[in-house]
Structure 1
Amino acid sequence: MSLGDILETEIQGEIARIREQAQTHADQIIAQAQERARTMLESRQRALHTDYAAGLTRARSAADLDANAQRLAAGDTLQVQAFQTAQTHLRQIPSLPEYPQVLAKLIQEALTALPNAQVIEAASSEHDAVRAALAQLGRHLELRANESVKTGVRLVGENGKTSVQNTLLGRLSAAQGELSAQVSRLLAEA
């Protein structure tokens, strides 16, 4: 073999070795790039999954809040309607034949608070019932018209300095705070 052939064989061997090293190095670079890409992809998938879960949780919370707000609004509306219905029924009581007995109890309670009352006030439309109630109680008081006193009476003491009002509508209004809690509970149970 000639020197040229030997050199060429050596050069070819060196080229093959360099190619092999380059291929090994390229394979390592590709493997590292693939590993980084896989890690980045998994990381991004975890982040997207976490974002999706958080978004879903937020959406559920918002939906729950909205549902609760609507339920509260409906409950408030129903509660207002319940009190309006109660007021309507109480306004109809003076037309019932039993109203003088109801008034007698209201007057007796008011007299307990103001025993030396001189005047009794009531809406004009309720005067007959007030007279009947006073007769039941065996009491004689000056009866005056006061159109703001409906579904009950207002007793006025000497010289008009003191007064006590006892009406069905007034009682409902006074008890509304306490009754509201009970109405809310009943609405929640329904």
Structure 2
Amino acid sequence: MPEHRRADARRNYARILAVAEEEVAAHGAAASLEQIARVAGVGSATVRRHFPTRHALLEAVSRERIEALCVRARELTGAGDSTVDSRSALLEWLGEVVSYSVTARGLAVALAYDTAGADPAHGNSCSTALEEAGDPLLQRAVRDGAVAADVTVADLITLIVGIVLAAEHHPDPAARADRLFRLAVTGLGPQEDRTA
């Protein structure tokens, strides 16, 4: 939020964001904006002034988790000299994106590439941040011949979003999402042919 806003506007923003984090944790992407406004003690118009779309609210709620994933991508990229091969480093990071997306209700929706739901002035900042952070990992794997040259981080994030949303209502969404992710990256061959 811009620092030039009035002190009361900054306080409202912080209060709305804190309440939104709790509501999204409890109810996922379907958290009620009206409930957020009620609990924060502000009007619905105030919530919409700070967060003009549900997507903007979800991105703000997800910002810390996204930054943690970006830091992790940079750590794994910097580990290029280690014993971790480029494919394993990429898959480790993508697995962490899956795990975060399953546990952080609403994150998969924030990552979705629905431009109609994104803030038109800023696009999808969560997805953009992950693409920028993950691209060096992907490019290293492409250079090593471990991943096809035409694969993009956007492709991989879209795959993860689909997996997480498909597993959302499973009795064990984390295990289901992990299984589907592993299946997607290893293929449909017999078990002995699979290499994750």
- Measured against the shorter chain, the TM-score band is under 0.3
Normalized per residue, the structure richer in helix is: 1
Larger radius of gyration: 1
Provide the TM-score with structure 2 as the length reference: 0.23
Provide the TM-score with structure 1 as the length reference: 0.24
Normalized per residue, the structure richer in strand is: 1
Larger relative contact order (C-alpha < 8 A, sep ≥ 6)?
2
